[in-house]
Amino acid sequence: MSVTTPAMPVPAPGTATLPAAAPAPAAAGPSPAELLDFVRATAADADLVATLPLDPGNRTWVQLVGPGGSEAWLIGWPPGTGTGWHDHGGSQGAFATAAGTLREDSLAVRLPTEGWRTLELENGVDRCRALSTGEGRAFGRHHVHQVLNESGAEHAVSVHAYYPPLPLMRRYSRTGPLLRLEEVERPEDWQ
Ligand SMILES: [Fe+2]
């Protein structure tokens, strides 16, 4: 693994007050590896995956019961849809592809979570992977990524799990090396 350097904050006028940091996960909760086991097993459950309604124009989702108090979702991705850049508010997690192929772009650097609106990323921090049917990945509390279905024709389906349940998600825009905090979503925004 290559050595990376921390992203450098760029002062921005009118910096807004950001929400307090998410609480640390309870030690007793499922680990990323356990969440990965769950999402892989669930993604392989064809009967369950078939219960997800698919919409050719929009993402669809069904909430699942995750292990150990985790939050879990089955998500459908029409061709060309994606999440945009985001974090998981301090939760760790995992996801696995149940149908089709998903692309994940991520950052191999830990960002400061608070006190900035715009960061200039160092060269070399971008990572990209393709997760085809049956493949998954786990991630830690500070993971920043975007997930997209680049297919022009094929729907993708995936299973996601987070622990603790997502307290919030920070959404970012990306222009070259500049990452900008655009929005903080709360559970009431997606449940
Ligand atoms: Fe995510």
Dist. CA 188 → ligand 1 center (Å): 17
**Mean residue pLDDT across the chain:** 89
In angstroms, what is the span from residue 87 Cα to ligand 1's centroid?
6
Task: Quote the ligand 1 centre to 168 CA distance (angstroms).
Answer: 11
CB 136 within 8 A of CB 94: yes
Q: Is the pLDDT of residue 25 over 90?
A: no
Beta carbons within 10 angstroms of residue 46's beta carbon = 9
pLDDT of residue 17: 44
Distance between Cα 55 and ligand 1 center (Å): 21
Ligand 1 centre to CA of 3 (Å) is 24
Identify the pLDDT of residue 114. 83
Lowest mean pLDDT among 103-117, 134-148, 164-178: 103-117
- Percentage of the chain modeled with pLDDT above 90: 82
pLDDT range class, residue 28, cuts 50, 70, 90:
confident
| pLDDT score recorded for residue 21 | 54
Q: Please report the pLDDT score of residue 12 as a whole number.
A: 43
139 CA → ligand 1 middle, Å: 9
If one counts every other C-beta atom within 10 angstroms of the C-beta of residue 29, the result is 17
Distance 92 CA to ligand 1 centre (A): 10
| Ligand 1 centroid – CA 109 distance (Å) | 16
Q: pLDDT digit string (tens) for 84-127?
A: 999 999 999 999 999 999 999 999 999 988 899 999 999 999 99
What's CA 166's distance to the chain center, in Å? Answer: 10
Q: For position 190, what pLDDT does the model report?
A: 77
The Cα 119–Cα 145 span in angstroms is 15
Is the confidence at residue 170, as pLDDT, over 50?
A: yes
Q: Among residues of the chain, what percentage have pLDDT more than 70?
A: 86
**pLDDT reported for residue 191:** 74
Please state the three-class secondary structure of the chain as a single string. Answer: CCCCCCCEEECCCCCCCCCCCCCCCCCCCCCHHHHHHHHHHHHCCHHHHCCCCCECCECEEEEEECHHHCEEEEEEECCCCECCEECCCCCEEEEEEEECEEEEEEECCCCCCCCCCEEECCCCCEEEEEEECCCEEEECCCCCEEEECCCCCCCEEEEEEEECCCCCEEEEEEECCEEEEEEEECHHHHC
**7 pLDDT higher than 50:** no
